């Protein structure tokens, strides 16, 4: 989908998938990318 394919394009290429499957995968990826970083100091 990053290359511009629509959900319908993906469904046409992968008939075993449902729209809900793709939406769930996109939601999962969105949550993975929504993380917080913590500042830390390396002490040697």
* Contact predicate 13/1, CB 8 Å: no
Rounded to two decimals, the pTM is 0.66
pLDDT value, residue 32: 83
The domain segmentation of the chain, as residue ranges, is 1-36
| pLDDT tens-digit readout, 1-20 | 778 999 999 999 999 999 99
Report how far Cα 37 is from the mean position of its chain's Cα atoms: 19
Q: Which residues of 4-31 are buried (b: 16+ CB within 10 A; e: fewer)?
A: eeeeeeebeeeeeeeeeebeeeeeeeee
């Amino acid at each position: 989908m990053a290359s511009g394919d629509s959900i319908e394009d993906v469904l046409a290429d992968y008939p075993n998938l449902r729209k809900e499957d793709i939406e769930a995968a996109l939601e999962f990826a969105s949550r993975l990318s929504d993380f917080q970083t913590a500042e830390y100091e390396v002490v040697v």
